[in-house]
Amino acid sequence: RGLGSAEIARRLQISSSTVRILRRHFAGGPFILQQDWAPSHGSRSTLAVLEAHFPGFLDKNLWPASSPDLNPMDFSVWGMLEGKIAGKVFATVDDLKAALEVAWASIDDGYLRRTVNSVKKRLRACVKARGSNFEILL
């Protein structure tokens, strides 16, 4: 189902605030958006937002799909978030979302920096292993 121009404009506006947050977080330094290429993330509207706000994002030809060992959210952060809310019962999806937002806000910036900085080592190990399992090389 295609999106109308109003929905695309809304997404662009949301992306603008995200870009401001990212630029502030990275102190004006360079950053590259890593796309996970879930089917909805490859839609025309999403690609329009990416092109408008994240020039140079890694497209699906440059970043392998289903590569959780190379994605900081997958190899580290989601596990930490899950650990922070483990054992709790949530009545609604909104309650779960709220708990995840609180858990996210409590993550130390140093932890996130160390996690992101480990990607280069992981990429080198992946190349050395020729794309095979490389966890043993870390």
Contact 61, 46 (CB under 8 A): no
Residue 55 — left, alpha, or beta (φ > 0 → left; ψ -120 to 50 → alpha)?
beta
Say whether pLDDT at 5 is over 60. Answer: no
Say whether pLDDT at 1 is over 50. Answer: no
* Angle (nearest 5°) at CA 14 between 8 and 19: 120
132 band by pLDDT with thresholds 50, 70 and 90: confident
Prediction pTM value: 0.53
2 band by pLDDT with thresholds 50, 70 and 90: very low
Contact 21, 14 (CB under 8 A): no
Q: Lowest-confidence range among 57-61, 124-128, 134-138?
A: 57-61
Please state the length of the chain. Answer: 138
Q: What is the arithmetic mean of pLDDT over 67-74?
A: 80
**Element holding 16 (H helix, E strand):** helix 5-25
- Domain spans of the chain, in order of start: 1-63, 64-137
What's the confidence (pLDDT) of residue 106? 92
Pick 64-137's CATH classification: 1.10.569.10, 3.40.50.880, 3.30.420.10, 3.40.50.800.
3.30.420.10
Q: Is 58 helix (H, G, I), strand (E, B) or coil?
A: strand
Better-predicted residue by pLDDT, 84 or 74 = 84
